[in-house]
Amino acid sequence: MGILNLSKLLADIAPHALKEHELKTYFGRKVAIDASMCLYQFLIAVRTEGAQLTSADGETTSHLLGTFYRTIRLIENGLKPVYVFDGKPPEMKSGELTKRQERRQEAQKALEKATEAGDAAEIDKFNRRIVRVTKAHAEEVKRLLKMMGVPYVDAPCEAEAQCAALVKAGKVFAAATEDMDALTFGSKVLLRHLTFSEARKMPIQEIHLDKVLEGLELNQEEFIDLCILLGCDYTDSIRGIGPKRGLELIRKHKSIENVINTIDKEKYPIPQDWNFAEARELFKNPEIAEINDLELKWGDPDEEAMVKYLCGDKNFSEERVRNGCKKLLKAKGSSTQGRLDGFFKVLSTTPAKRKLEDKKNTPNKKGKTSGGRGRGRGPK
């Protein structure tokens, strides 16, 4: 789920930190992809007539198909992906996970109802909501990645945290996930929409942490506290404090402790046994695998093994698999285009001045109206 409303807040306050680029401009870049996130996308999105794709004996293959084609697309564009798989969820996430479990059960019930009623649109909707990424899915994808010559990393805990650590250590250029908390974990660059389908024509959103901090006028520790206030996966947040107010409070008081000491607790009740300090610790020092022990190697694809696995067991078309393999080999054989960044030093950057002023004006207006609405809502 990431951080509630953080991307909206950034678009308003720090538009400078968000950039959009086409996939093809990322050639030569190594990226750490949050595998659990994209498997989930595949299971939801890769479907025909609303049903997941399956092998002959009825097992889902949507995740394999998605991994296969979209990884090829990345490699064709010159990217070097490394997939990072989730380990065990941190204990603090259990609350969030229970909530998700409940939602899934509700969806299951709704699905049964819809099936009885024969409402196709509803069936489709709830079918997508009960999707879960299982261990078996992950294992199958790992097997496929190995055959494709694409490296993967098993994170001991949260994949976003591991991705962030890889970026921090300079092993990869960016973390690719939809979860904004990769930034909270300290990933210098976050890419969103990287593994989306080509058909959606979504540009890739690139978010730079340094620009985020600059735009929000916070340091990393304050930023972590802000994320906790906004609402993260690990602990509760204070009801009634939204992004704007949260940012104001952190800017003024620097930490959650100080915020708690100053705000009106009648109006904004602090959650019981609020363990924000532990959540903060989790963001600062997450459980990750030792970076230096990881070897990221992009090897040659094993065509025969892939044909045997995907066509034999999983009902893929042999022609397509072989074609895909050729693309992988071709991309691997070609030399990589260099960048000028390494050769020239940036002497100074002049951000667009007037643009910034304009942007500052508009959110202010918005801020006032939403503030007004907020106050209006209060007495109800």
Partner 1 sequence: MFEARLTQSASIKKILDAIKDLLNEASFDCSESGIQLQAMDHSHVSLVSLTLKADGFDKYRCDRNLTMGMHLGSMSKIFKCSSNDDTVTITAQDDADTVTFTFEAKKQEKISDYEMKLMNLDQEHLGIPDTDFSCVIKMPSGEFARIVKDLSQFGESIIISCTKEGVRFSTSGDIGSANVKIAQTANFEKEEESVIIEMQEPVVLTFACQYLNSFTKATPLSNVVQLSMSDNVPLVVEYQIPDLGHLRFYLAPKIEEDEN
Query: Between 22 and 217, whose beta carbon lies closer to partner 1?
Result: 22
What is the closest distance, in whole angstroms, from the C-beta atom of residue 36 to partner 1 in the complex?
Answer: 24
Residues 155 and 84: beta-carbon distance below 8 Å: yes
Query: Between 15 and 156, whose beta carbon lies closer to partner 1?
Result: 15
Which amino acid is residue 247, in one-letter code? L
What is the b/e burial string over 300-309, where b = at least 16 CB atoms within 10 angstroms of the residue's CB? ebebeebbeb
What is the closest distance, in whole angstroms, from the C-beta atom of residue 176 to partner 1 in the complex?
Answer: 18
What is the closest distance, in whole angstroms, from the C-beta atom of residue 74 to partner 1 in the complex?
Answer: 16
Which helix (H) or strand (E) covers residue 210, if one does?
helix 209-216
Q: What are the residues binding partner 1 (CB under 8 A)? A: 16, 21-22, 24-25, 27, 296-298, 332, 334-355
Q: Distance between CA 289 and CA 255 in Å, rounded?
A: 29
What is the closest distance, in whole angstroms, from the C-beta atom of residue 336 to partner 1 in the complex?
Answer: 5
Centroid of chain to Cα 195? 10
Classify residue 362 as exposed, middle or buried by CB count within 10 Å of its CB (0-12, 13-18, 19+): exposed
Query: Between 285 and 334, whose beta carbon lies closer to partner 1?
Result: 334
Query: Between 15 and 89, whose beta carbon lies closer to partner 1?
Result: 15
What is the closest distance, in whole angstroms, from the C-beta atom of residue 102 to partner 1 in the complex?
Answer: 44
Query: Between 72 and 123, whose beta carbon lies closer to partner 1?
Result: 72
Residues contacting 78, CB < 8 A, separation 6+:
24, 26, 27, 28, 29, 331, 336, 337
Q: Distance between CA 312 and CA 298 in Å, rounded?
A: 25
What is the closest distance, in whole angstroms, from the C-beta atom of residue 325 to partner 1 in the complex?
Answer: 17
Query: Between 160 and 206, whose beta carbon lies closer to partner 1?
Result: 206
Torsion angle of the four alpha carbons 288, 293, 297, 303, in this order, in degrees rounded to the nearest 10: -80
